[in-house]
Structure formats: structure tokens, C-alpha cells
Structure 1
């Protein structure tokens, strides 16, 4: 029993050491092994073993107390009682250290698992931050490109507005010239009509004069 407890104690010490000190891939292997141990019926088995060892521990402590009480009553312990007392004390100590190391290993594994999950979350958050920074840079570049395009469009709009004002001014000038030309045409048409009337009157006067001249000749 004592040899088995020493073996278990050394095994637990090695596991605790590998969990606390990272040596190559051994920590990951130990963590994976403990993860598998905590799946399925593993926790129930471990609790059963721990309960059994705790019962043995209580039994050893009870035996130690009985031997001490017996020695106190007799005033001294016999060599056999001393051997039994030391055996039970060693056994109780080994069981106590074994249970304590088992608890330390369990808590260390739990917190290491949480730490690994936290690191994974931090790495994922870093990747998300990097991705967001890249998107921010892209948006900033797109914003700068859009700003340049807007500035170009604004310049083109101002240029077109100036051209439109110029064309509008030229159109107004042409309208004025057209109105002046139309007024001049109307004036010429009126003069032409007056001239036609005057021409008709002169033809009529000429005809009358010719008629009068023929009358005199007769």
C-alpha cells in the first residue's frame, strides 16, 4: 500500500511539474490527457477513488489516535505500537499529500484550460482588431478616393456652370441681335410696302398723264 502511494505521489508530482513548467509538448499532452479523463465516466471514477482514499485516511488517523491514547494510558508505547503508529502516520501523510496534489493538479488544469481559452479569445480578438484596422484603412482610402472624386466633380460642376453662364449670356446677346434684326426687317418690310404703294401711285399717275397726253393729241 505504501509503495503504491509513493508511486502515485511521484506520478502526481511529475504531472504537477509538467503542468507548472512548460517543457516541449509535454504540457499540452498532460492537459489533453486530463481533458479526456474528465469526460464520460472519468470524473465519477476519480471521485470514487478519492473518496476511498479519504476513508482510508480517516481510518489511519483513527488508528493513530487510538495508539496514542493507548500509549498515554500505559505511559509508553510498545515497539509493535510504535511501528504501527509510524506506519499509519506515513500512510496518512502519503494519502494526504496524494489528495492534496490531486486537488492542486485539478485546479491547475482548470485554470490552465481557462488561460488557454482566454489566450485563444485574445488571439481571436487581435485578429478581429487587425481585420477591423484593415477595413478602417480601406474605408479611409475609399473615403479619400471619394473625396478626390467629389472635388473633381465639384470643379467640373463649377466649370460647367461658368460655361452655362457664358452660353446663356451669348444666347441673350443673340436674342437681342435677333430682335434688332427682326425690327430692322419689319422696318424694311414697312419701307418696301410704302415704296410699293408709292410705285403704284406713280404708275397710276403715269397712266393718267399718258391718257391726258393722248387726249390732247386727239
Structure 2
């Protein structure tokens, strides 16, 4: 099902989109605390999300079948609560390739949703990632500074809003070169049944 990207394909992934207010608060943190750091690419605040599964280049004709599998996966899950935690990095200490904010809240529920999506898409030909699932919100990529990232950016920040209820996830298509870069092509609600 995963095919090279052409006019007949779309690059897709599933994710939890952040509420608008949380996106704005995260943008304020970037502008006030870390905007002076030298990163090659800053995430457009409208694109802030928590990735569930990267799917790759998918034939447009196969998207309805994928969506059906995602709706079935979502039906097994009730809404849960997430929040935004401390900053962190991936890559070499002081010279990170990714700057992110950790996800807090009901992470067991998040991990279970991730697993359900992976299990639902695998029969369609999507391969699970080999590395462990580490939910986060990417803020910037490819640090280019000459000096290490200052430790001060990892200090406590209580300006990010209260936790929010996750009642759905989305299927995003990547639109390279556009801002925002991610376009929602389907919203998949979680079941409202009690767990």
C-alpha cells in the first residue's frame, strides 16, 4: 500500500492536533524563550501535533480503506486527557537535531491508541517503526549554533495551559513548501463509551 510519492499519492500520518489555545501558548514560549537559538527549521505553530503513526506515501485510491481501518481503531478508545510538559531534545547533547516539548497526562491511553492504530494499519501494508514510541511535540529541527544549547531552556515553564481532553485524532497530509504544512484530510473521533 505504501508507494513512492507522485501526483497519485499523498504523504500521510496520524496525529493528535493541539487545541488552538495550546498552539498559541506554545508559540509564545518559542517567541519569548527559545527564538534566539539557531535552528534550521522552526515548526509553524499551526502544525503543532503529537504524531501517532507516520504512514508515508499512500496511493490516493487506498485512502478510503485506510480511513475505515482508523475509524475501527478509534472505536475501541474513550477520550482521555493530555498536557504539555517540559522541553527536551533528540540528538547530541547541546547540539540537538530536534527540540520538543514532552507530552504529559494519560500517556497509557495515548500509547494504547498508538498501538491500536499500528495494529489496524499493518494488514494494509504499513510497517510499524522499529524505535520505541516517544510522544512529543516538535518545535524546531537541526540546531546550527556554534555554542551548545543553554540549559536555561529546560527550566520549568508553567505558562503552557491546562490539560485538554483528546476526543479525536486526525489523518494529516503533508504539503511541502506550504504554511501550515499539514492539512487535515480526515478527523477520527474516539468512542464516547465508558472504558
TM-score normalised to the size of structure 1? 0.20
Q: Which protein is richer in helix relative to its size?
A: 1
Question: TM-score, with normalisation over the residues of structure 2?
Answer: 0.22
Structure of higher CA gyration radius: 1
Structure with bigger strand share is: 2
